[in-house]
Amino acid sequence: MTTTSQHTARMEAMTVGQVAEEFGITVRTLHHYDTVGLLTPSERTHAGYRLYTRDDMERLARIVTYRRLGFALEDIADLLDGDEDATAHLRRQRDAVMTRIGELDRLVDAIDAALEREMTQTPATNDDLKAIFGDGFNEEYQTEAQERWGETDAWKQSASRTKGYTKADWEEVKAEGDAVNAAFVTAKQAGYAAGSPEAMAAAEQHRLHIHERFYDVSYDFHRELADMYVADPRFTTTYEDIEPGLAQYVHDAIHANAARHD
């Protein structure tokens, strides 16, 4: 006849299916642990079904922890069946978990760094360019420009250079362009003639900006661009919106700068 304590222990025991559901593992895994001697159920029902006691489930909890940390079953058996007391065993578990946390933190940092690189290196979209240049970016103008100059070496060189420009690259291009325009405005508002050193310095800055960012610009080519700024109303309007009379001033400064390099 069983004692009261034995009856209570049996009532607390769980079947294979119940344990599998409780610990989030499969019945097949539990059977494997039993086969290799890692975890053998301590009780049996009258019908012969396995029952896991509280001690069995405490051992299983440790097994599951070590498995999640990547330990092999052989190593887990050595850890569980060694001479360590419970305190030493828990400390070993904690040390293992903290080591893994450190590894995962470093992995997250590496992933974040890689993600940032990928996002930074992603070419800018048309929406990005609209956000950066505002009215200065117009897809219709882009299409017209490609139809007009698409077969020229300058267009091909510009397309090759800019195809990989990121949003950050275009923001730098915009800032550089604004700085060039500001130099022209400063010279003009200060009363310097278009042929002055100050205005010609702004013109050279303008040429180098295009030369370095888009396509090679000789001084003769720069003159052609300047002529277009006053011949094409759209270019003229862009400069006039910044400062009245600026389109002609830029044109004259570019010609003066080119002449001094002839």
Q: Are residues 198 and 243 in the same domain?
A: yes
Q: What tens digit of pLDDT does each residue of 194-218 get?
A: 999 999 999 999 999 999 888 888 9
Query: How many domains would you assign to the chain?
Result: 3
pLDDT tens digits, one per residue of 18-76 = 999 999 999 999 999 999 999 999 998 888 888 999 999 999 998 998 888 777 888 88
**Among candidate residues 120, 145, 175, the one where a domain is terminated:** 120
Q: What is the pLDDT of residues 83-113, one digit of tens each?
A: 766 677 677 778 877 887 888 788 777 766 6
Whether residue 246 is found in the same domain as residue 148? yes
Q: Are residues 72 and 111 in the same domain?
A: no
At 5, the pLDDT band (50, 70, 90 cuts) reads: very low
**Helix H segments across the chain?**
4-12, 16-23, 27-35, 54-68, 73-80, 86-120, 126-133, 139-149, 153-162, 167-189, 197-213, 219-231, 233-242, 246-261
- Reference 209, options 171, 239, 174; nearest CA is 174
Residues 186 and 247 in one domain: yes
- Write down the pLDDT at residue 50: 86
Same domain, 156 and 257: yes
Residues 14 and 109 in one domain: no
Distance in angstroms (rounded) separating the CA atoms of residues 10 and 234: 90
